[in-house]
Amino acid sequence: MSHELVLVLDFGGQYNQLIARRVREHKIYCEVKSYKTPIEEIKAMNPKGIIFTGGPNSVYLDESPRMDKEILELGIPVLGICYGAQFLVYALGGVIEPAHDASLSEYGKTECEIDTSSPLFDGLDKNTIVWMSHNDYISKVPDGFKSIGHSVKCPYGAMADEERKLYGVQFHPEVNHTVQGFDMLGNFLTKICGCRGDWTMESYAETAIRDIREKVGDGKALLALSGGVDSSVACKLLAKAIGSQLTCIFVDHGLMRKNEGDEVEAAFADSGVNFVRVNAGERFLGKLAGVTEPESKRKIIGEEFIRVFEEEAKKIGKVDYLVQGTIYPDVIESGLGDAAVIKSHHNVGGLPDYVDFKEIIEPLRLLFKDEVRALGTTLGLDEKLVWRQPFPGPGLAIRIIGDITPEKVATLQDADAIFREEIANAGLDRSINQYFAVLTSMRSVGVMGDGRTYDYTLALRGVSTSDFMTADFSRIPYDVLEKVSVRIVNEVKNINRIVYDITSKPPATIEWE
């Protein structure tokens, strides 16, 4: 079954992924492609509509992204957003002017009056708040276009050539600050492009299972299962598609949270796949003994992980396919710039080049994180795994400051479990994006009963973030923190002091190491 498709052509804007997300929230499948995609390729994809994203530049600069205006002659409806709208104007002979006069550039929430007789704004309120962010402005629209929205400063806040189904908005309908933006995109998709909305996780699962079966035939596949959402959902999908032709290797490095290894095993051991759990805790802790430097810990765990995986893979012999849990944001972001490496991330999903296989299967490469979760639910994956918060590959090793011992691991596991339990009891487990305990290696004096103690300080951390690149510390209610604190010092040995981390990222990172 093929889905209706809408293309998002990326001109370098910061919201390209968000636009794709919004389209999918309307149950319409969409893909983000570069503006450099050849026209022939675009035609072959047969999109029902095209959205041009914003971009950082002025259309008149030599280096600005442009494409052949043939794209506008295919009879496919187009919505240009911000730079995308200016590109439409540029390509079709209108005029853009730089707002030398600061009074003509707009940034932030702006009142706009829209023409509700246009299909783009059908059924919406006439006066509305939109999110503007532009320096250049449209001073003359191309022939055939008319204004369908204006603000005080901007005569062409929105424009349309309704006959050719070409639309442009100077603002960003994809961001929440544009109050009716979601409905505007909905109007474009349904009323202008004629989409019905056939993108559901049930249909995705059906198609993916059929495609995987076709591809794998009677071959063998191998998957490194970390217990994270992505590899767990990939495993469940493959289990339904090819059952015992899949072997998944779960390397338990002994640095998971309390009971987590057993939960992963319980979720997959009877799922019809060959499930191999390698209990390598002692081996990892042996290698880590006495190591205090965070990057060395990461490196040791990364290397040891590969070694263990390799040994197990060799026992299976030749496999045809290696399954990876790559998701769509990784695909969109891959190759984008070279941001400074703050921490080297050891990702259990991102494996190896040494296992002898024919091809890689990435069954989630078209999905956003929330869609991966929805797919997990559709496939009947244990809710605990579906809603698992992000957990770093090196696990608790980077949440124990300084050297790691089995006793410290056990102490942290117990304390962290109490924290998580109380957060769930308070109903906060899905609203705080990541929360965990850190065993600092600092000791301090306390008093318990009649005696003096000299024990560890435990730090609690909770953050709210959408992308994990920046994060704000969570305002966890004091009474919840109090309950956690009382329980931990009473129930966990060797901890006599609890602190809450109130730094955001930047300047701190989310993890302590």
Binding site for ligand XMP (CB under 6 A): 298, 342-343, 345-347, 390, 392-394, 434, 468, 505, 509-511
What secondary structure, in 3-state letters, does 110-168 show? Answer: EEEEECCCCHHHCCCCCEEEEEEEECEEEEECCCCCEEEEECCCCCCCEEEECCCCEEE
CA-wise closest residue to 141 among 90, 192, 78? 90
**Is 172 marked active-site?**
yes
From 3, 31, 82, 195, active-site residue: 82
Nearest to ligand XMP of 110, 231 (CB atom): 231
* Distance in Å, CB of 293 to ligand XMP, minimum: 14
Where do runs of H (alpha helix) occur along 169-293? 181-187, 201-216, 229-242, 260-268, 281-288
| Nearest CB to ligand XMP, comparing residues 340 and 447 | 340
Q: In the complex, what is the shortest distance from the CB of residue 392 to ligand XMP, in angstroms, rounded to a whole number?
A: 3
From 174, 260, 422, 513, the catalytic residue? 174
**CB 36 → ligand XMP: shortest distance, Å?**
31
For ligand XMP, the closer of residues 287 and 505 by Cβ is 505
State the angle between helix axes of 229-242 and 260-268 in degrees (0 to 180), rounded to the nearest 10.
20
Residue 4 DSSP label: P
Q: For residues 206-225, b (16+ Cβ closer than 10 Å) or e, as one string?
A: eebbeebeebbeeebbbbbb
Which amino acid makes up residue 149? Answer: G
What is the SS3 assignment for 486?
helix
Smallest gap from Cβ 22 to ligand XMP, in A, equals: 24
Strands 49-52 and 29-34 come out as unpaired
Rounded Cα–Cα distance for residues 482 and 488 (Å): 10
Q: Are 373 and 364 in contact (CB under 8 A)?
A: no
- Token pair listed for 378: 């559709």
Helices (H) and strands (E) in the chain, counts: 14, 20
CB of 335 to ligand XMP, least distance (A): 20
Do residues 368 and 277 make contact, with C-beta atoms less than 8 angstroms apart? Answer: no
CB neighbours (10 Å) of residue 38? 10
Rg for the chain (alpha carbons), in Å? 27
Beta bridge partners of 222: 247, 322
Kindly tell me which of 152 and 469 has the beta carbon lying closer to ligand XMP. 469
Query: Closer to ligand XMP at the Cβ: 16 or 347?
Result: 347
Residue 250 Cβ, how far from ligand XMP at the closest point, in Å?
A: 16
Annotated catalytic, 193? no
* CB nearer ligand XMP, residue 157 or residue 393: 393
Shortest Cβ 345–ligand XMP spacing (Å): 4
Closer residue to ligand XMP, CB minimum distance, 235 or 510: 510
**Residue 389 CB, nearest distance to ligand XMP (Å)?**
8
**Residue 342 vs 445, nearer CB to ligand XMP:** 342
Residue 82 catalytic? yes
| 495-500/472-473 β-pairing | unpaired
| Residue 48 neighbours by CB under 8 Å, 6+ apart | 4, 5, 6, 76, 77, 193, 194, 195
Catalytic residue among 3, 172, 253, 346: 172
Active site residues: 82, 172, 174
